[in-house]
Every structure is written in structure tokens, then in C-alpha cells.
Amino acid sequence: MSILHLLKKRFRASRQKRWNRIFDQSHIKRVQNGLQVLADQGKKLSSVDSKKAEEYSVEVLGSIDFAPWLKLYSAFRGEFLEGWIPDNYLGRVVCPAINGDLKDLSSYKTLSKQLLQTETLPDLVYLIKGTWLTAERLGTTFDEVKSICFDHYPFVYLKRNFSFQGNGILKLYPKDFDGIEFDKLGDFVIQAPIFQHPFMEEISPGAVATLRITTVKQNQKPAETRLCGLRIGREGMNYIDTKGAMRIPVDPNFGKLYPSAITANWQLLETHPDTKVPFEGKTIPYFKEATQLCESIHERFPHIQLIGWDAAITDQGQVKLMEWNTDQPGIVYSESSIGPHFKELGWEDLWKN
């Protein structure tokens, strides 16, 4: 091997290491904070579990970098369990490997309905590169857009491409419409509002609760629901955003809620802080319909193996899709509390490729 070749190899390896370090930074911070908050609630990481997490991370997942999340999961559960997928391993190893070049596709919310071909997405209109289109992808005018939005709905939601975790969403009333410089917002979709089922309204007053259904479709196998969670809001929230929302892990087979909601800051709550409704013993209505819908849409889109679907249950008992996520759908709250969810998929070997 020539010196130049060796130097290039070293340089690339060092660059990769740097990228990994940058990628992991926010994860480490979140875990440190989570471990502290959990310890304050009596869920302290034992030194035995800490060691197990480190050993497993190195031996099975190929690097000590993946130990932090395993430690947090262990602290939450009071024991270390084999098969857990650390969030940073999902993001920098699993998703690029199994969702490939298409992993960013779901960031284009203006393409979701076109690609998924489902009537369950409440898309009304799109603005794409200065062109207004209806959900049927017919050209339309600004006046028609107003009519499409407000002839039947008191308000609508605008979601910008590349927005995530609730950022880039605007709740718009007719009075807001004329004052907005739409051209400055980039490409976006406008969606009809969803009026949610009373079950959801009770535990997420105001903001539509988001049922996250994560499906996996392996080569030549049917799509299957692997992980579920319910994101619920606080009184006064217009929509669910990552910071303010609470997550209730959900049994992916039967839709039964975990007895506690978990805040973004890892606080466990047995009742809703505003309505005082308890979570224990509750089962999500129309849960099977929701998972079946996500699985059936995934069946028609086998290009991507891992998809996180955001669904809602309407007051009429219908399942609506709000969006799909193909780049690192969040797993940590459900994975720590009721996981591991992704065993026997071979994901722990993907780092070797």
C-alpha cells in the first residue's frame, strides 16, 4: 500500500469517526439528562447493568458508542435486556442500511399522498415551487385554495417540507390566510383538521393525539407492526410537538397503554397532568384497524423497510394518517419501557456491512 493510499484511508477513517462523534453528541446529552431524571425517580442504573450495556454494545453492535442508550433503557427497566436497539444505532447504522437512498423521502410532505396513494391522508392542497395543486394534483388558484380549505373546515394545518417533530406546522384560520406570504414558506401541504375520538380527547385534550405505528417490511416478508406509542398533548396545545408532548408506550399487539406517560424529559406520569385521567388499563379503540392500515400501505411500498406512521383515530372511528417517517423514526420511549421490539431482524449485524 502506497503512503498516499494509506494517508487517504486514514483520513477517511478519521472523517467517519468525526461524523459519528457529531451524530452521537445530541444522543449523549439526552441520555445523560434522562439517566439523571430517571435516577431521581428511583430508576437508577446499576454498575452491573452499566457494564453489561457496554460489553453488549462493543461485542454485538460493534462500538462502545451505542452503550449510552442501552444504559438508559436498563435504568428504566431495572435490568439489561439483550436485543434493544439504541437510538443512535438506528439513526446511523440501521436506517441508512435498510432504507437506503430513499430514507429522506418522507421529508417531502408534498409527495406523501402521491407516493402512498391513500385516501386516509387529509391533504387538501400543496404549494410546490410556486405552483398550487389540489390533492388530486390538479392546478388550482389561490382563491380556489381558500375555498378548498375553508368551505368545509373552520381551520387547517400547514406543514412545510423538511419539518419534523412539530416544527414547521401552522394552524391557520380564514382570517390568517390573506396575510401570509406563502412564497416565503418553501413547499408545503395544507391538511384538513382531524376531530379525534373521545377516547383520545380525554387523554389529549385539544391537540390530536398521534398514534405512532412503526412497521418493518423485510425482503420477501409481509409488513408487520413492531413498535407503537401514543403522543399526547397538554391543554392549550394546538398540535403535538416533540418538546411539549408526552409519550405513552403502546403494546403493538393489542393497543394497550403502558400505565404511565413519559415526558420528553423522562418524567413518568400516571395521570394526565391537566385532566388527571389515569392511563392504566386503557386500550386504544380501532387499534387493529390502524395497524392493519399501516401494514397494508407499507406492503405497497416495499422500497423502504422501516416506516414510522403517524395515525389518528377520528370521532367517527376512522383511521387517518397524518404523515410517514422514513429517516430514523423515534423509538426510545417505547423501546425502553416495553422493548426490545426489533429482535430477530438481524439489525445488530448491519454494522458489519
Segment (H or E) for 124: strand 123-128
Nearer to another protein, 208 or 306 (CB): 306
Q: Should residue 28 be labelled a site residue for another protein when binding is judged by CB under 8 A?
A: no
Name residues contacting another protein, limited to 170-189 (CB under 8 A): 187
Q: Should residue 104 be labelled a site residue for another protein when binding is judged by CB under 8 A?
A: yes
Nearer to another protein, 197 or 298 (CB): 298
CB distance 320 to 121 below 8 Å: yes
Beta bridge partners of 131: 128
DSSP 237-274: -SS--TTT-EEEEE-TTT-BBPSSEEETT--EESB-TT
Q: Should residue 198 be labelled a site residue for another protein when binding is judged by CB under 8 A?
A: no
Nearer to another protein, 2 or 219 (CB): 219
Nearer to another protein, 212 or 298 (CB): 298
Q: Should residue 349 be labelled a site residue for another protein when binding is judged by CB under 8 A?
A: no
**What are the grid coordinates assigned to 64, written together?**
462502545
Q: Is 53 exposed, middle or buried (0-12, 13-18, 19+ CB in 10 A)?
A: buried
Smallest gap from residue 65 Cβ to another protein (A) = 24
Q: Which stretch binds another protein (CB under 8 A): 22-30, 130-138, 237-245, 273-281?
A: 130-138
Strand arrangement, sheet containing 268-269: 268-269, 261-263, 246-250, 224-232, 210-216, 306-313, 319-325
Q: Should residue 133 be labelled a site residue for another protein when binding is judged by CB under 8 A?
A: yes
Name residues contacting another protein, limited to 30-59 (CB under 8 A): none
Please list the helix, strand and coil fractions of the chain in percent, rounded to the nearest 5, in that order. Answer: 40, 20, 40
Q: Should residue 143 be labelled a site residue for another protein when binding is judged by CB under 8 A?
A: no
Nearer to another protein, 114 or 238 (CB): 114
Query: Which residue of 131, 253, 265, 283 would you call a contact of another protein, by CB under 8 A?
Result: 131
Q: Should residue 303 be labelled a site residue for another protein when binding is judged by CB under 8 A?
A: yes
Residue 274: name the closest of 246, 297, 302 by CA. 246
**What are the grid coordinates assigned to 120, written together?**
386516509
DSSP 71-90: HHHHHHHTS--TT---HHHI
Binding-site ranges for another protein (CB under 8 A): 101-102, 104, 108, 110-111, 114-115, 117, 128-131, 133, 137-139, 187, 217, 219-220, 299-300, 302-303, 305
